[in-house]
Structure 1
């Protein structure tokens, strides 16, 4: 007998049709046992992973049957099996999302999300999340009437509580997967329904707690729930007493959270691809920028000390080292990551009090010039003249273009030319200018000829032979 995954063509289509017919009839007759329903739904789930020859699953009738098993059947295992089929169908076929909303099932999903299992949280958060793409789902109604914000916050509160408890290292995998789906749902709803974003403000302390508690692998610092945790803060209002208390607690822990973010940033910028930088580090920098904007003065000073070039960075040309400021500067000119490049430049400008003079002093004119021109910000008159020669924090002279301390610049070690080498170079220069004059394109004065007239050149000895350039 052929296995489920091996069926194709008419055989697969026939099997899918038979399963759906059986499940649809059982909604009225209820002749199947719980085990038989579970087996049928599981088989249907496998068939639905590949939409070829599985058309009945994606029809309105097929989705109606699955939604009834998902939301109208009391047996949790049966409901979850049906939700798995629905989640796969909505992911594979965008049209199914419209059907799901048309049937009014998003409100049922919000109600069922209150069910307290990791599988339910994972499945229902994903299903609601998928309705935010390509449908006319009324998110305001889900927040106001179905309590979506309160449910999401309660889920995050539970995750935060468990993250701080003993034994968090041995958490079951489904818990982390459920958290990721809830965070993605939070991000999309707060992005697409900005009018109700304040309803999610109580989530900020829980997200902050989870970021501080989460292990940060050195090789993949933004893997697992950490990336969606950071993304979740991008749309939320951090300018509330509740949010500020979580972000900047009183005492010696005031900068603990931002230091955590900068540590993640440091690891995240070590040898990733440009695509990874653009997708994962850009939101992280957006959050750091928001945190800095709302930070008290003492925390702002600390952040500037961590992200702006230090005296150690200025021992060489800025952007050449392995520090966080050096990594930021290298990437603020990366042509392959325009969004990342833009947010780094804006962050560094804001760290410089939005003052062009301070900005040039902090990062060097070489890094500052493009941002200033692009944003129509007047360039300080002394930026390129060499007048900006003192670093305010150290009092030492710096190169205004590269930001390096002048006393650390190394002159190129070029050996002294011999008289013969000088003569040969002069002859080459003479020949090049003579050829250029003959083209008639420009009228140019040969500097070698002029040097002879002014008595600044010695005659070449007769026995010296100089080869003409080819």
Structure 2
């Protein structure tokens, strides 16, 4: 027979129709052997690689594939072949549902979603494929998952799978640290974990009323997050999905006692937030700036953690993420520390979502106080965020001392750190600023610069782009000019 790979156009369409017809006939033919059916499914799977091919499958074809995927006789003497056929049919379904949106509604109309929910725990291969199928049903269908939550233990099955992965990751880490032989270590399946986490994220996104049933799952997710070996570029599956899943869960939930929450466990309340900071540190050092938009969920999660943290933990997070006093020997943002990296990214022109996320995080770490924010990061880094969020510029910034008559130096909170004067613009200590080695300008040079500035303002005003007032005009209106001979 001509190889399927060589077929194209109508020939490929005819061959696929023949395969599907044989599968439909075989599903009712008791004389058709399980081995023959498996071979047909394998050949079909190899061909469903494009939207064009996937569009050839009708509602009847989806029903036939579901028969092999979910309803085989596992108690027969050919159970191994039937399981293999089931998983091959699941792969066909997953590919078709991915490539052809219309087929998802065919699947829903056939009431097969509950069969997929029941099969989530059969094996990790089934976990991967059934999670992917259910995930795809959250888009472009009219399917409601309430029945699966209430009658088919969907939340419990998802939790069991994630908890099972957590046990394996912990065991794997312990084994590698003890130098065990690789053959004795559990086989990890990050692909299956990733698909389950994607399903969990979408379910809690579209059905937030059920997020509370995943309280126990928070601990399992965090357990994986602190034990998984990070890649050089850490923001990738399944780490990405672990972080995303946590964003939709109620991290303030207290399953047992107030002093032993999943986020801040009593035996080690520091481990989770330190791990998140370590992932962020690795990401900003190993990813290009334009790639760092993928770190936005991580930054958002750190904001959530800080919001829920007890005061001692908040102080520790501030020490890790805000510039230290030792960095004030030079303008803030100039060193190689993580806080300096974050400051530079907070003004990134090519990563706008990350820029906003980091600025918001730094503002949160400053207890949402504009004066503290400017003192912590310098007005140069704070100005854009304050302006875009309509936050008033604190008194004392840039020499603004409108409240001096009250007997309190309004700029002291902002211009002094540990009793040392700092430049509120750059954040650098005044005593560490370089001395101005340039000679003082002559009166003639001052006049020349003023004239240049006047011309620039006039040109800018003429463009109509901005409504600016020439400072010379303003000075004249204010009566600050004095006629001299």
Instruction: Indicate whether the TM-score tops 0.5.
Output: yes
Give the structure 1 partner of residue 420 of structure 2: 396
1:416-449: CA deviation from partner (whole Å, max 9, x where unpaired): 59xxx9799689779979999xx9x99979xxxx
1:39-118 equivalent positions in 2, closer than 5 A: 39-52=39-52, 55-57=55-57, 59-73=58-72, 74=74, 75-115=82-122, 117-118=123-124
Aligned to 1:127: 133
2:170 to 161, 164, 169: 164
CA distance in 2, matches of 1:435, 1:52: 64
Alignment correspondent of 2:406: none
Return 189-198 or 223-232, whichever deviates more: 223-232
1:241 is paired with a residue whose SS is coil
User: Distance between the aligned counterparts of 1:139 and 1:80, measured in 2?
Assistant: 23
Query: Residues 364-414 of structure 1, C-alpha deviation per residue, up to 9 Å, x if partnerless?
Result: 122222222222323212222273476665221111111111122224544
Question: Aligned Cα RMSD in Å?
Answer: 3.1
CA change 1:378–1:13 in 2 (3 A) is same
Give 1:247-262 correspondences, 5 Å limit.
247-250=263-266, 253-262=268-277
CA 1:132–1:431: 2 relative to 1, 3 Å: closer
The alpha carbon displacement at 1:272 in A equals 2.4
Q: Deviations over 1:70-99 (max 9, x none)?
A: 111132111100000000111111111122
1:239 aligns with 2:263: no
Q: CA deviation at 1:38?
A: 1.6
Once the 2 structures are TM-superposed, how far is the Cα of residue 166 of structure 1 from its aligned partner?
4.5
SS of the residue corresponding to residue 187 of structure 1 reads helix
Q: Distance in 2 between matches of 1:101 and 1:401?
A: 60
Instruction: State the structure with more CA Rg.
Output: 1
Q: Contact (CA 8 Å) 2:62, 2:93: kept in 1 or not?
A: yes
Q: Which residue is equivalent to 1:147?
A: 153
Q: Is the 8 A contact 1:309 1:318 kept in 2?
A: yes
Paired residue secondary structure (2:399):
coil
Q: Does 1:268 align with 2:275?
A: no
Which TM-score applies when normalising by structure 1? 0.85
Structure 1 CA distance for aligned equivalents of residues 394 and 471 of structure 2: 36
Structure 1 residues 71 and 427, CA gap change in structure 2 (3 angstroms): closer
The secondary structure found in structure 2 opposite 1:247 is: coil
CA distance in 1, matches of 2:359, 2:153: 40
2:412 equivalent to 1:406: no
Distance in 1 of aligned mates of 2:471 and 2:155: 76
Distance, in Å, in 2 between the alignment partners of 1:183 and 1:212 is 16
**Residue deviations 1:126-145 (CA, integer Å, cap 9, x gap):** 11111111112212222122
The whole-number CA distance in structure 2 between the counterparts of 1:275 and 1:435 is: 38
Asked whether 1:278 is paired with 2:302, we answer: no
The answer (yes or no) to whether the contact 1:363–1:403 under 8 Å persists in 2 is yes
Once residues 435 and 228 of structure 1 are traced to their aligned partners in structure 2, the CA distance between those partners, rounded to angstroms, is 56
**Equivalent residue number for residue 222 of structure 1:** 235
More divergent stretch after superposition (360-369 vs 63-72)? 360-369
Per the alignment, residue 37 of structure 1 pairs with: 37
* C-alpha distance after superposition, 1:203-240 (max 9, x if no partner): 000001000001112x2112331111111100000111
CA distance in structure 2 between the partners assigned to 1:307 and 1:265 by the alignment: 10
